[in-house]
Each structure stands twice: as structure tokens, then as C-alpha cells.
Copies of this chain bind each other. A is one copy, B any other.
Amino acid sequence: MVKINNKQTPLNTDQQILTATLKLFSEKGYFNTSVRDISRESGVSIGSIYHHFKDKEGVASAIYNSLLERINSELSEIQSVHKTAHDRCHAVVSFLFELTEQEPDVMEFMLYSKHREFLPDEIPLCSSQPFELMREMVKSGMQSGEIETMDVILASSCLYGAALRMITSKLDGLLEKPLYEYLDTIWKHSWKSVCI
């Protein structure tokens, strides 16, 4: 089952709504999902949904922000556990692969949606804390001499680009094997592209 936050609280109405909505959004997209659909899928009445959230966009916004927060705390943990850019970025890719396999809905919604179309007031994913943190790790690797000096966005594209494409390929059903079977190879080549 997909959890929106990673606390082990018993499922309250909020969570029921968010979980059902994430499933529908990742399956059909925001615009193909009606509030009636959410009511049916979650078993919560329309009235209750509007009692818990301002409107449909409010539900999407709650999902987006809680997932951003969850991913960010995971990346922060990675940053504090590992000390080199090599180990940090490797752990990031590994985590993203794991998340894709365990909770494809989450990745589908986070990596593979055009949030700007239905959440115009939220911060874009590419400027969000997790993405900033991923670039920060690359930057520190350039300063420590592990990674060739170049534009940070460019280096990040080189280092994460292949892995992110493998994730979308997985979500598109192009890959038969689970993602982690590609992890070592992807990482080897990605690192090779930027290391000194």
C-alpha cells in the first residue's frame, strides 16, 4: 500500500483520501480524475473530502508537498551519512530506484507529471529542496576535486540523467528486470562521465 508520509500512524481520513488520490492521479492523471472518483476510491464522501481539503487542487498540493518533504528528509539523511560526492550521489540513485520499485505511484506523480499545469502556485520540482540538494552534492564534489569542474546543472545532468531516464523507462514498462539490477552498471557509467 502506498503511504503518503512515512509515519506509522493508523490511517485517518486525511490519509485515506491522499492515498486513494495519489493512486488515481498516477493512473489517470489529475485532469482525468474527478472528485467523485476520489470519493469512490477512498470510500470517503465528497462532502468529507471538501471538509478536509479546500478543493481538488488542495488535495494535489498536500500530496505534492508531503512527498517533497519525505524525499527531502531521505536525501538529507543520505547527505549526513555519506561524506564523499561519489557515495552520496550513488546513494541518491539507489534510493530513487528503490522508491520507483516499491512505490511507483510516488515516482509517477513526482517525476512524471506536469505539476505546473495543475499546481501553478507550487514551487517547480526542478527548484524544490530535493533537487537543490542533489545539485548541492554534485557541487561539493567539484569543490573537493572528485568531479570535473563545470556548470552545476550540466554536471548534475550528466550524473543523474541516465538514472532518471531508466526510471521513466521503468514507469513506461520498457524494462523487464527490476531497476536495481541495472544500478551498478548505470552508476559505473554515470560516474565515469564526470569523474576526474
Contact = CB atoms under 8 A, between A and B. Distances in A.
A172 B117 contact: no
Contacts of A192: 192-193
Interface residues of A, number: 40
Contact of A186 (B157, B160, B163, B189): B157
Contact of A189 (B112, B166, B194): B194
Interface string A156-181: 11101111111011001011000000
A40 interface: no
A114 interface: yes
Contacts of A182: 151, 154
Contact of A169 (B126, B169, B174): B126
A-B pairs with lowest CB-CB distance, top 4: A161-B161, A193-B193, A31-B31, A161-B162
Interface of A: 28-32, 112-114, 117, 124, 126-127, 148, 150-151, 153-154, 156-158, 160-166, 168-169, 172, 174-175, 182, 185-186, 189-190, 192-194
